[in-house]
Amino acid sequence: MILNNKPKKIIGNNIITLELTDSTNLQLKNLCEKETLSAGFVLVAKQQTNGKGTDGNYWVSELGNIYASILFDYDDKVNTLFSLYPAVALAKILRRDFNINAHVKWPNDVLVEHKKIAGILCEGVAGKYMIMGIGINVLQTNFSGDIENIATSIAAESNSNIDTNAVLEAFLREYNNLYFGKCDIRQEWLNNTQMIGKTINSIHDGEKKSVVVTGMSPEGFLEVKNKLGQTEIWMARRGLDINAKY
Ligand code: BTN
């Protein structure tokens, strides 16, 4: 279970690191069923054997990257904006601290050019807790198979030596700043994306669509203009595949 008090919750107040697990999201769920954990708890693994991605995809989880799941109190008012914080936090520190031109793709992928450097899988159990899982490619430089030309890492994009722990620390610090600070996360997302004004090609429940991105709604939904000039609001990423080349 999760403690339901409301002290100042700090993301990363308690971090446990596992050498190897199947999936940190799965294991954090298991831990929540057995133990009393506070919001802000982070479960990190150095490697995963069954990393979970969005839409039932597999998340390649080799040694050298970051696989982390962060615990939050359940909140039935939560909306898409909630899942934007970690993506924006990471994009900001990659640009500021690592000189990598990272940007966010709706809702919460972090890209460098069209290649994915981090992905987020937010899951929850209604009435109980929410888990923000993030995979950050840090040291991996060989990407093969399905992800050969669509993934990158901090090491692949940077000339300096990268310390994985320093990346996690900087990321959690920025996440805290954004989440507990007074930031307008919608505006922060807009400041950290390259999507606005671009034509994007997508497959939406099997249907090909080409639209122009016009903005983000107050709830964090994507606003686009279709070929007929009508505004559409895209609410869910499930069943939606947006081509990262835009
Ligand atoms: C995506 O497909 O973009 C989301 C990938 C999320 C991967 C992370 S790694 C840590 C956490 N544990 C998992 O099994 N998945 C998430």
For ligand 1, whether the C-beta of 86 sits within 6 Å is no
For ligand 1, whether the C-beta of 67 sits within 6 Å is yes
* Inter-axis angle of helices 84-98 and 164-180, nearest 10: 130
For ligand 1, whether the C-beta of 54 sits within 6 Å is yes
| Candidate from 59, 84, 138 with most ligand 1 atoms within 8 A of CB, to mutate | 59
Closest CA to 192 of 118, 85, 65: 85
> What is the chain's pLDDT, residue by residue, as a tens digit (246 residues)?
555 544 455 999 999 999 999 999 999 999 999 999 999 999 999 999 999 999 999 999 999 999 999 999 999 888 999 999 999 999 999 999 999 999 999 999 999 999 999 999 999 999 999 999 999 999 999 999 999 999 999 999 998 899 999 999 999 999 999 999 989 999 999 999 999 999 999 998 889 999 999 999 999 999 999 999 999 999 988 889 999 999
State the pTM of this model: 0.95
132 touches 72 (CB < 8 A): yes
Ligand 1, atom nearest to 109 Cα: 3
